[in-house]
Amino acid sequence: MHSKNQIQEMHAALRWEMNLAKVSVEKVGSLRNIHSSSTLLKNEPFATDYGEKSEHKGEGDKSLVTHDDLFERVAQESRTKATFSRVLDVFVRQDIRRRGHVEFIYAALKKMPEFGVERDLAVYNKVLDIFPKEVFVPRNFIQRMFNHYPRQQECGVQVLEQMENYGLTPNVETKVLLVQIFGEKSHPMRKFQRLMYWFPRFKDMNPFPIPHQLPQDPLDLARFSLSRIANDLDAKVTVHQMPFTDISETGEEVSQPYVVGIQSPDQCHLLAKHNTSRPLFVEGPFALWLRQTCVHYYVLRADPLPPEEKVKEPVDPERCFFYPLELDLDLELDRDLGDDDSFNVDEVEEGPVFAMCMAGQGDQATLAKWISGLQETNPILGRTATVFRLESGPRELQSTAEPEPDLQPHHHL
């Protein structure tokens, strides 16, 4: 932060410099002299070689100096937050007038994802700090009425918009910077106010939250995604096979992929009641998106029951002691329409889902290990035919009415 005195000093120096530049234009009338005069007047010489190089290049061709250059040169070493902020420091120290700061900020915004700092609030504040302070604040009502320094304001809004797109909520430091740079009622300040209005409201809107940093370990990722899609807190995640890579005696690399499955007690009961004459299907892979990453899972399911095989389960009379859950009266008990909260649609006929899994590889051998692992808790799997309906690519999630004839059933005994 600049204190008031510092800023006033800067102003004075700036005005003096500008006067001098005007004088030099009048005297010599060449653009080169403006540049040289400004370099002479620099009160703080820069020490890093990036800055010197850039200045050197700048003299080579004056017409178009892009600020991407500065980032590109640094990017040859490493693309980190440290180097990014060093580039910003170099630019700030280069020129007290911050000449070309709008172009530089646009270049910096573009380079941020490359340096991996696009979700770093401190860096955004540092980028905003490049703007000279108090120069663009309107001082009288006419300036306030019209769009004061529109290019600079647009640039400030663009910084905030990039923050918005990456879902970053600005903090107090951002606000102080914006007030210092553009004033209280400027466009960037309005943008800031809008962000501060909407972002806290929408921040925790997702009922199925996903962390920004997903777990790196594929097992943990599989656990997270499976418990997300299972939608049952009682569901138990089982690691059927741990991943490992080993080099066997013959020198071949032996690796086995991980197999992680999930099954809830309800699914277990459903599977126990399954008619063994009807085959079970292993289907997949289906896609699941966790922010930017896509994982695939497999499903063990059966076809929907034909209507003649459907049995209506009698309601356990001990489930509720206070009132009967079923009334076997032969009356026309039409519920009042105002009490009817059900939807007048037909149920979608779909087969039950018995278990889900994620595996390192989607081939039949790997998934057969899942099925054999499931057999420990579901002995019915040993007596039922299991058909693998796997596809190489992701496919739509649908229960098919008829199995494809070209797939051979795979029996587990």
Partner 1 sequence: MALTPLKQLATLHRGALLTLLPPHGPLVCGSRINFLGEYRRPGQPRDNTPPWKKIRFNFAKGVEAIQQDLTSLKDEVFGRFVGPQGRTLKEHLLEQTFVQWEFRGPESLSNWIVSSDREIGGRSEAYLKLGRNNSTCLLYGTLCSIPPRDGETSYSGYCTVRSKQPLKSFGRKKHYDWSNFNTVHLRVRGDGRPWMINIGTEMYFSHHKNDMYNFFLYTRGGPYWQDVKIPFSKFFLSSQGRIQDNQHPIQVDKVNTIGFTLGDQADGPFQLEIDFIALCNDRAHTEEFAYELYKRNPEV
Smallest separation, CB 18 to partner 1 (Å)? 31
Q: Using CB under 8 A, pick the residue from 213, 344, 392, 408 that binds partner 1.
A: 344
Q: Which of 375, 318, 111, 356 is nearest to 103 (CA)?
A: 111
DSSP E strand stretches across 220-258: 236-241, 244-247, 253-256
Residue 49, H or E segment: helix 49-60
- d(C-alpha 165, C-alpha 7), whole Å: 32
With binding defined as CB under 8 A, does residue 333 bind partner 1? no
Binding mask 353-392 for partner 1 (x = CB under 8 A): x--x------------------------------------
Number of H helices, E strands in the chain: 14, 9
279: CB partners within 8 A, 6+ apart: 302, 303, 384, 385, 386, 387, 403, 409
Among 24-32, 33-41, 120-128, 227-235, which window interacts with partner 1 (CB under 8 A)? 227-235
Q: Using CB under 8 A, pick the residue from 47, 142, 329, 345 that binds partner 1.
A: 345
Smallest separation, CB 393 to partner 1 (Å)? 8
Q: Using CB under 8 A, pick the residue from 204, 249, 336, 404 that binds partner 1.
A: 336
With binding defined as CB under 8 A, does residue 198 bind partner 1? yes
Smallest separation, CB 374 to partner 1 (Å)? 16
97: CB partners within 8 A, 6+ apart: 14, 17, 38, 132
Q: Using CB under 8 A, pick the residue from 4, 27, 201, 319 that binds partner 1.
A: 201
Residue 238's alpha-carbon distances to 80, 161, 258, 362, 377, in angstroms, are 39, 44, 11, 18, 11
DSSP string, 127-149: HHTTSPSSSSS--SHHHHHS-SS
- d(C-alpha 151, C-alpha 124), whole Å: 18
- d(C-alpha 278, C-alpha 264), whole Å: 22
With binding defined as CB under 8 A, does residue 144 bind partner 1? no
Q: Using CB under 8 A, pick the residue from 44, 217, 350, 376 that binds partner 1.
A: 350
Residue 49 or 349: the one with the smaller Cβ distance to partner 1 is 349
Residue with the two structure tokens 């049952």: 232
With binding defined as CB under 8 A, does residue 64 bind partner 1? no
- d(C-alpha 351, C-alpha 249), whole Å: 46
With binding defined as CB under 8 A, does residue 338 bind partner 1? yes
Residue with the two structure tokens 């499955």: 261
Smallest separation, CB 79 to partner 1 (Å)? 21
With binding defined as CB under 8 A, does residue 337 bind partner 1? yes
Among 2-10, 49-57, 58-66, 331-339, which window interacts with partner 1 (CB under 8 A)? 331-339
For the segment 272-301, give every residue that binds partner 1 (CB under 8 A). Answer: 286-292, 294, 297, 299, 301
**Contacting residues toward partner 1, per CB under 8 A:** 184-185, 194, 197-198, 201-202, 205-208, 225, 228-231, 286-292, 294, 297, 299, 301, 336-346, 348-350, 353, 356, 394, 396-401
